[in-house]
A and B are shown apart, each in its own frame.
Chain A
Amino acid sequence: MEKWQNQTEKQMLEQIRSSIGKVQLPVDSYNEQIMNRIEHMEIKGGSKLIKKTLAAACVAVMIGLGTVTAGFISPVWADTLSQFPVFSSIFKHTDPGLKLAAEKGLTTSPNMSVTKDGVTLSVTEVFYDGTRLAIGFERAGIMDERVLAEITDFKTHDFDQSTKGLLGLPVVTQVSGEPISFGSSSTGDVEGQAQTLLLELNELRNTAALGDEFKVDISVPVAQIAEPFEFQVTVKKVTEGVINLTPGQGASKGSFHYTVKSLDITPATLRLIVTSEGEVPASPEQTGEYAPTEVFYELVDDAGNVINPRQMGYAMAKAVQHPILDNLYNTLPQIPKTITVRPYTCTFDSELNILLDANGERVKTYYKELETTIVIP
């Protein structure tokens, strides 16, 4: 602190304090705008803060995770409700695709429960469409609000065992013991719905070998209970309303070229697999301290509905080129006549922050010459 100040300086500093102290916010508060942006960001891009788990077969590709939310259903009612799809199900508050699947009665309700040492775990609902496998769980007998434990090591699936009844990551295998092969998975408590957990295995692979109906073993470790909770569940594939295409279409810009290897449309999900090669295109603005991100693939149907991948995470490196990209999208309102693939990049600043517009949306750079339209037969 200053030893002494002359009168003029004191007055001057007081003047500064007084003047600056009078500055008022132009609005009452930015609370609403900021929270809206945070909300939007989490829906679209996944939250770094409240994400529960992400176990990815290819972690380098999958960065970020959408918050998993789902509804709740008592297993006692599950069988009945599946016959009356208008009613609620565990997938009620999940993404529109799963919700729709539940409403259309496309989910199955195994209604299986296992009780050990005062903890009851039930598998309440299952959905499988060849692109993803979603399984809903309900826990009873534990007061703790948390269902999924903090996962301390995703490789070993080690989790916080300090509170009895917290669940570790469920493991789903074929009855032969072979793993179910997937691109990414998400596991998380059902937001706002106590005692439920949703597991999704996404971008499933080698599904032809699984067939339209197969059994899976589900093993769920529980804190402070020696043996895991085990279930054997029959999974039935939704086949009605499923369209599988291998368009082989693509487009080029500079050295960059991509091809749509496959497009699967199911009642709950849209899956696009794209291969690409060459350098990620950069606009004149994406030079110097700015750089393009990887290429994202937005889809637009003939009615103008625009959908983006459910996982909007991205690699924290400039212009990353993915030889293969396997993305799940939320379903479109109806089966479209055409789907246009609209590739774009976002822009990193020098610190790898994605540039946002005034509404907090990512600034997108589209490349008209990279668009391709796929006709849905």
Chain B
Amino acid sequence: MEQGNPGGQVNPNMIEEAIHKVRAGEKHAFTSVITAYERQIYTYCYYILRSREEAEDAVQDIFVKVYQELGRYEKRISFSAWLYKVAYHHCLDQLRRHKRRSRLMSLYKLQLVRETPESPVNSPVDRMFGDLTSEERSLLILRVIEQYSFEEIAQITGSSSAALRKKYERLRRKLIQQKANEGGCTRGEVAESN
């Protein structure tokens, strides 16, 4: 895998400038931050929460939270990684709430799931994601799509980078196996990662 540009095609200087302005009281500068990252964060939430409606709510909640917490952002971590950190924890919270709600209203939740036409279950990739845990889906997006290093993902998720490497290896094997089961690969030789 080639080393990409973690956090996407966003000009980090432009973002730093916008953050500086927001901190100086120019609230409107926050719109540049939203515009730069909203699609990525929506996509991330969509695949973690597996609901368009919830992802729509989540992306708004996350940016409101980021605005509130902007004073606490330090450059020890890239802004995009920090944003993902907020998104990661928000989505986990949402999933935990789900579990709690599902205990209370299991029937209603079943109905909700059925009635969510946008649940990403259509394409082969969506089916692939359907067999992964939320942690695995998060790891896959952060690693494969956003191309963060394991150290950065460790900062985002609060796990150790060594544990993340192992999880990612397991995840790769799982995906290869899935692909093999679909008939796409007969000898799923899996590469090592460093």
Question: What is the chain A residue whose CB lies nearest that of B184?
Answer: A8
Q: What residues of chain A lie closer than 8 Å to B97, measured between beta carbons?
A: 349
* Inter-chain contact A31/B193, CB cutoff 8 Å: no
Q: Interface size for chain B: under 10, 10 to 19, 20 to 34, or 35 or more residues? A: 35 or more
In the complex, number of A-B residue pairs with CB atoms less than 8 Å apart:
126
* Inter-chain contact B25/A50, CB cutoff 8 Å: yes
* Inter-chain contact B191/A23, CB cutoff 8 Å: no
> Given A2-B191, A6-B189, A15–B124 Cβ distance below 8 Å?
yes
- Shortest A1–chain B CB gap in Å is 5
- Shortest B117–chain A CB gap in Å is 12
State which residues 1-54 of B face A: CB under 8 Å: 1-3, 22-23, 25, 27-28, 30-31, 34-35, 38-39, 42-43, 46-47, 52
- Taken residue by residue from 23 to 65, chain A's Cβ proximity to chain B (1 for < 8 Å, 0 otherwise) reads as 1111101110111011101000001111000000000000000
Question: What is the chain A residue whose CB lies nearest that of B93?
Answer: A349
| A19 contacts the other chain (CB 8 A) | yes
* Inter-chain contact A17/B175, CB cutoff 8 Å: no
Q: What residues of chain B lie closer than 8 Å to A23, measured between beta carbons?
A: 39, 42-43, 46
| A118 contacts the other chain (CB 8 A) | no
Complex alpha-carbon distance, A24 and B69, angstroms: 27
Complex alpha-carbon distance, A50 and B26, angstroms: 9
Q: What residues of chain B lie closer than 8 Å to A156, measured between beta carbons?
A: none
Complex alpha-carbon distance, A41 and B68, angstroms: 10
* Inter-chain contact B67/A38, CB cutoff 8 Å: yes
Q: What residues of chain B lie closer than 8 Å to A289, measured between beta carbons?
A: 96, 100
* Inter-chain contact B64/A5, CB cutoff 8 Å: no
- Shortest B100–chain A CB gap in Å is 7
> Given A31-B34, A49-B71, A289-B100, A21–B189 Cβ distance below 8 Å?
no
Q: What residues of chain A lie closer than 8 Å to B56, measured between beta carbons?
A: 26-27, 30
Instruction: Choose, from B76-84, B107-115, B138-146, B154-162, the stretch at the interface.
Output: B138-146
Complex alpha-carbon distance, A17 and B144, angstroms: 7
| A358 contacts the other chain (CB 8 A) | yes
Complex alpha-carbon distance, A141 and B42, angstroms: 49
State which residues 124-177 of B face A: CB under 8 Å: 124-126, 128, 140-141, 144-145, 172, 175-176
* Inter-chain contact B175/A6, CB cutoff 8 Å: no
Q: What residues of chain B lie closer than 8 Å to A24, measured between beta carbons?
A: 39
Q: What residues of chain B lie closer than 8 Å to A9, measured between beta carbons?
A: 172, 175-176, 190-191
A25 is contacted by which of B30, B38, B68, B96 (Cβ under 8 Å)? B38
* Inter-chain contact A16/B144, CB cutoff 8 Å: yes
| B59 contacts the other chain (CB 8 A) | yes
Q: What residues of chain B lie closer than 8 Å to A358, measured between beta carbons?
A: 57
Q: What residues of chain B lie closer than 8 Å to A4, measured between beta carbons?
A: 191
Q: What residues of chain A lie closer than 8 Å to B179, measured between beta carbons?
A: 8, 12
Complex alpha-carbon distance, A50 and B93, angstroms: 27
A30 is contacted by which of B23, B38, B193 (Cβ under 8 Å)? B38
> Given A9-B190, A30-B38, A48-B71, A19–B57 Cβ distance below 8 Å?
no
Complex alpha-carbon distance, A356 and B65, angstroms: 12
| A13 contacts the other chain (CB 8 A) | yes
* Inter-chain contact B193/A3, CB cutoff 8 Å: yes
* Inter-chain contact B63/A30, CB cutoff 8 Å: yes
Q: What residues of chain B lie closer than 8 Å to A2, measured between beta carbons?
A: 1, 191-194
A-B contact pairs, 9 of them (CB 8 A): A6-B189, A19-B125, A29-B35, A29-B38, A30-B34, A34-B64, A49-B23, A49-B67, A288-B100
